[in-house]
Amino acid sequence: MSATNAGKVAVLMGGRSAEREVSLMSGQGVLSALQAEGVNAQAFDPAQRDLSELRQEGFTRCFIALHGRYGEDGTVQGALELLGIPYTGSGVMASSIAMDKTMTKRVWLAEGLPTPAYVLVRRAQLDSVSVAQLVETLGLPMIIKPAREGSSIGVSKVLKAQDVQAALAAAAQCDADILCEQCIVGDEVTCPVLGEGDTARALPIIRIVAPDGNYDYQNKYFTDDTQYLVPSGLPAAEEAAIEALVVKAYQVLGCRGWGRIDVMIDAATRQPYLLEINTSPGMTGHSLVPMSARAAGISYEALCSQLLASAALDNAQGSTN
């Protein structure tokens, strides 16, 4: 697909989720890149405009640069299916499952893929939660996070049992479902995937070295203290095994277009554990997919063009384009 036959492209950015500000940064980067490639691309914020305007104004494709709820969870994807406008990234079901960390873990476990042990706590159960039982099941330290947020929003690493309730309460402010997870201590890596089905391929792994091992919202987006190592420095066989695992994890969820999977490697056993998948990853100046693509010889502009070219519908027969 060339810029001339991409048609009129809407870059969906902003939205209504807790990750709105990050999405605006991602969207502006994508918009500038596509325009630099000669694409007739325009910004479109679903928080400020009705999606029906996409069809009314003749948009033929959408590049989804939304993050979190109402953008990465299958809702926007479903609306675009109804409008018949192809979009980047995963379809309705894969987006919906991947947004829910608990559902994602259930699918991975059903497929025999390694992911840390977990306990799901509902917001309505907070008063009756047995901290002692959680600690006995998952050990300390423990990770507590909302089941359906990204960008490390509402995430706590709990070192002491007396801090569990506060961490649960913080996560409950973001979501009715709270994921309590075994903390894997070791190397933290992330690996992007491009493509669909048998053609899906991993981009180079990035090893993340955050201050005090704390890869939080601040260290993700607003400081330069976190180190991102690509090449990762991992042994070649270990890196190849992780890439194969990540591609399998992407495929079993039915993802397409692109995604990024976070992995922890147990320091003692070197066993990799799948943490979560992002089906609409960040495209900011600090974002990891562009960094990995660059290491593979793919420029930011070329990456955006490639993703736009992969725009599709779950039900292609519904397309009017």
| Mean pLDDT for all residues in the chain | 92
- Do 109 and 225 fall within a single domain? yes
How far is the C-alpha of 87 from the C-alpha of 314, rounded, in Å?
10
Helices (H) and strands (E) in the chain, counts: 11, 13
Lowest mean pLDDT, pick from 69-73, 87-91, 151-155 = 151-155
Q: Is the pLDDT of residue 131 over 50?
A: yes
How far is the C-alpha of 46 from the C-alpha of 124, rounded, in Å?
31
Residue 314 within a domain: no
- Do 163 and 293 fall within a single domain? no
Query: Over the stretch 199-214, which tens digit does the pLDDT of each residue have?
Result: 999 999 999 998 766 6
Q: Are 220 and 155 spatial neighbours (Cβ–Cβ below 8 Å)?
A: no
- Do 215 and 289 fall within a single domain? yes
Catalytic, 151? Answer yes
> How many angstroms separate the first and last alpha carbons of the chain?
14
Indicate the pLDDT class of residue 319, thresholds 50, 70 and 90.
very low
Token pair recorded at residue 227: 């180190």
Q: Domain range for residue 203? A: 97-114+184-303
Closest CA to 220 of 236, 204, 206, 240: 206
Q: How much is the pLDDT for 223?
A: 60
Catalytic residue among 19, 72, 149, 239: 19
Q: Are 30 and 83 spatial neighbours (Cβ–Cβ below 8 Å)?
A: no
Q: What is the CATH number of the domain that holds 131?
A: 3.30.1490.20
- Do 109 and 235 fall within a single domain? yes
Residue 228 within a domain: yes
Catalytic, 221? Answer yes
How far is the C-alpha of 184 from the C-alpha of 206, rounded, in Å?
18
Q: What is the CATH number of the domain that holds 198?
A: 3.30.470.20
Work out the percent of the chain whose per-residue pLDDT is above 70.
Answer: 93
- Do 145 and 268 fall within a single domain? no
Query: Over the stretch 249-307, which tens digit does the pLDDT of each residue have?
Result: 999 999 999 999 999 999 999 999 999 999 999 999 789 999 999 999 999 999 999 99
Task: Tell me the pTM.
Answer: 0.92
- Do 77 and 189 fall within a single domain? no
- Do 138 and 191 fall within a single domain? no
Q: Is the pLDDT of residue 151 over 60?
A: no
Residue 317 within a domain: no
- Do 25 and 154 fall within a single domain? no
Q: How much is the pLDDT for 149?
A: 76
Q: Are 315 and 92 spatial neighbours (Cβ–Cβ below 8 Å)?
A: no
Catalytic residue among 20, 61, 256, 260: 260
Q: How do 206-209 and 156-158 pair as beta strands?
A: unpaired
- Do 213 and 284 fall within a single domain? yes
How far is the C-alpha of 181 from the C-alpha of 4, rounded, in Å?
48
Catalytic residue among 17, 151, 280, 292: 151
Q: How much is the pLDDT for 321?
A: 40
Catalytic residue among 282, 292, 300, 305: 282
* Alpha-helix runs per DSSP H in 187-281: 217-221, 236-252
Q: Is the pLDDT of residue 140 over 80?
A: yes
Catalytic residue among 149, 262, 300, 310: 262
Catalytic, 262? Answer yes
Catalytic residue among 232, 278, 280, 310: 278
Residue 101: partners with Cβ closer than 8 Å, 6 or more residues away: 145, 147, 148, 179, 276
Catalytic residue among 72, 175, 177, 276: 276
Catalytic residue among 87, 118, 215, 221: 221
Indicate the pLDDT class of residue 154, thresholds 50, 70 and 90.
confident
Indicate the pLDDT class of residue 221, thresholds 50, 70 and 90.
low
Query: Over the stretch 27-43, which tens digit does the pLDDT of each residue have?
Result: 999 999 999 999 999 99
Residue 315 within a domain: no
Residue 152 within a domain: yes
Catalytic, 260? Answer yes
Residue 192 within a domain: yes
Catalytic, 266? Answer no
- Do 101 and 136 fall within a single domain? no
- Do 139 and 157 fall within a single domain? yes
Catalytic, 175? Answer no
Q: Is the pLDDT of residue 218 over 90?
A: no
**What angle separates helix 92-99 from helix 75-83, to the nearest 10 degrees?**
170
Last residue of one domain, picked from the residues 182, 199, 218: 182
Domains contained in the chain, number? 3
**What angle separates helix 288-295 from helix 300-309, to the nearest 10 degrees?**
100
Which of residues 65 and 1 earns the better pLDDT score? 65
Q: How much is the pLDDT for 94?
A: 98
Indicate the pLDDT class of residue 18, thresholds 50, 70 and 90.
confident
Token pair recorded at residue 315: 């039900």
Q: Is the pLDDT of residue 4 over 80?
A: no
Catalytic, 201? Answer no
Q: Is the pLDDT of residue 318 over 50?
A: no
DSSP one-letter string for 104-138: HHHHHHHTT-----EEEEEGGGGGG--HHHHHHHH
DSSP one-letter string for 44-108: E-TTTS-THHHHHTT--EEEE---STTTSSSHHHHHHHHHT--BSS--HHHHHHHHSHHHHHHHH
Q: What is the CATH number of the domain that holds 71?
A: 3.40.50.20
Catalytic, 282? Answer yes
Residue 313 within a domain: no
Q: Are 153 and 18 spatial neighbours (Cβ–Cβ below 8 Å)?
A: yes
Closest CA to 193 of 111, 252, 125: 252
Indicate the pLDDT class of residue 320, thresholds 50, 70 and 90.
very low
Residue 321 within a domain: no
Q: Is 235 left (phi over 0), alpha (psi -120 to 50) or beta?
A: beta
Indicate the pLDDT class of residue 6, thresholds 50, 70 and 90.
confident
Q: How much is the pLDDT for 130?
A: 94
- Do 157 and 200 fall within a single domain? no
